[in-house]
């Protein structure tokens, strides 16, 4: 359902993704692991076209784009972006919007939903992430775990086909990260398709069926998460997993 094929991306002439291919099955979760600077964030950003690769192909559901270095079809870009929701390590909530306002924003501004319909959808999502009692709170009044749960609700607002998570627990202490892991695990059980870049083996082992190790922009190993974590085939994978403890 999501397929990346032979993705190449450079910054300043430096190749940071080298023929990266990846498939995420509908209703499944893939964990993307790898050292800092290996290209995880860049790869996620290529999936929602925040970065445009120089070569390769991206397919999400019915929408497909081939990267050739030439300008992309704007309609295809719009269709791809509409099917993705993204959350970040540092939450990136709008500071001058309440929890409710954060979740409603894209529905009202981008999708032009009427306010009452957007509000109903946002309330439903905030309840789902356990924040029905915090809908009127400002981001600064929320803990990190609560802010990240608002970010999850916001990313899901437009019912994307895939939720992209960039280190969703890295900025949180273990206790707060647990509440975010619980929400992501619940979403996984409900069949939300997710691609999660993470250093958090507890998160990855809990929610991912598949895993992929990137190192220096290359896929070192990919396969069933349980196998990749417990008995990796490659020395580089084993060494990296040992560093995660």
Q: Strand order of the sheet with strand 218-224?
A: 84-87, 162-166, 194-197, 29-33, 210-215, 218-224
User: Using CB under 6 A, which residues numbered 32 to 71 contact ligand ADP?
Assistant: 34, 36-42
Q: CB 113 → ligand ADP: shortest distance, Å?
A: 32
DSSP helix/strand/coil, 170: coil
User: Using CB under 6 A, which residues numbered 5 to 24 contact ligand ADP?
Assistant: 11-12, 16
User: Using CB under 5 A, which residues numbered 73 to 112 contact Mg ion?
Assistant: none
Q: CB 210 → Mg ion: shortest distance, Å?
A: 19
User: Which residue stretch of 31-39, 67-75, 114-122, 199-207 sits at the interface with ligand ADP (rule: CB under 6 A)?
Assistant: 31-39
Q: CB 236 → ligand ADP: shortest distance, Å?
A: 14
Residue 86 as a binder of ligand ADP (CB under 6 A): the answer is no
Which residues, in sequence order, are CB contacts of 84 under 8 Å at separation 6+?
Answer: 47, 48, 60, 160, 161, 162, 163, 164
What are 99's two structure tokens?
A: 């929890």
DSSP state, residue 79: H
Residue 168 as a binder of ligand ADP (CB under 6 A): the answer is no
Tell me, letter by letter, the H, E, C secondary structure of 179-213.
HHHHHHHHHHHCCCCEEEECCCHHHHHHHCCEEEE
Of 39 and 101, CB closest to Mg ion: 39
Of 40 and 81, CB closest to Mg ion: 40
Q: CB 170 → Mg ion: shortest distance, Å?
A: 9
Q: CB 41 → Mg ion: shortest distance, Å?
A: 3
Instruction: At 138, give phi and psi (nearest 5°).
Output: -85, 150
Which residue is it, tokens 């981001």? Answer: 139
Residue 237 as a binder of Mg ion (CB under 5 A): the answer is no
Instruction: At 119, give phi and psi (nearest 5°).
Output: -65, -45
Q: CB 40 → ligand ADP: shortest distance, Å?
A: 3
Measured CA to CA, the distance from residue 164 to residue 84 in angstroms comes to 7
User: Using CB under 5 A, which residues numbered 13 to 72 contact Mg ion?
Assistant: 40-41
CA 64 to chain centre: 19
Of 64 and 171, CB closest to Mg ion: 171
Give residues in contact with Mg ion (CB under 5 A). 40-41
Give residues in contact with ligand ADP (CB under 6 A). 11-12, 16, 34, 36-42
């Amino acid at each position: 359902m999501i397929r990346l094929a032979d993705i190449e991306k450079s910054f300043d002439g430096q190749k940071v993704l080298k023929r990266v291919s990846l498939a995420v099955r509908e209703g499944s979760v893939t964990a993307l692991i790898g050292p800092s600077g290996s290209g995880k964030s860049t790869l996620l950003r290529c999936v929602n076209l925040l970065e445009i690769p120089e070569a390769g192909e991206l397919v999400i559901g019915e929408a497909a784009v081939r990267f050739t270095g030439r300008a992309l079809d704007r309609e295809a870009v719009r269709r791809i972006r509409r099917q993705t929701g993204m959350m970040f390590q540092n939450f990136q909530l709008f500071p001058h919007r309440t929890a409710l306002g954060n979740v409603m924003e894209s529905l009202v501004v981008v999708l032009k939903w009427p306010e009452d319909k957007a509000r109903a959808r946002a309330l439903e999502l905030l309840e789902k992430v356990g924040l029905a009692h915090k809908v009127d709170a400002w981001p600064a009044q929320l803990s990190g775990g609560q802010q990240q749960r608002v970010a999850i609700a916001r990313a899901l607002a437009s019912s994307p086909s895939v939720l992209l998570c960039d280190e969703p627990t890295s900025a949180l202490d273990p206790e707060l990260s647990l509440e975010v892991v619980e929400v992501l695990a619940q979403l996984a059980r409900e069949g939300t398709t997710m691609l999660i870049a993470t250093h958090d083996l507890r998160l990855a082992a809990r929610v991912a069926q598949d895993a992929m190790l990137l190192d220096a922009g290359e896929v070192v190993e990919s396969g069933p998460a349980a196998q990749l974590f417990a008995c990796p085939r490659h020395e580089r994978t084993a060494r990296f997993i040992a560093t995660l403890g």
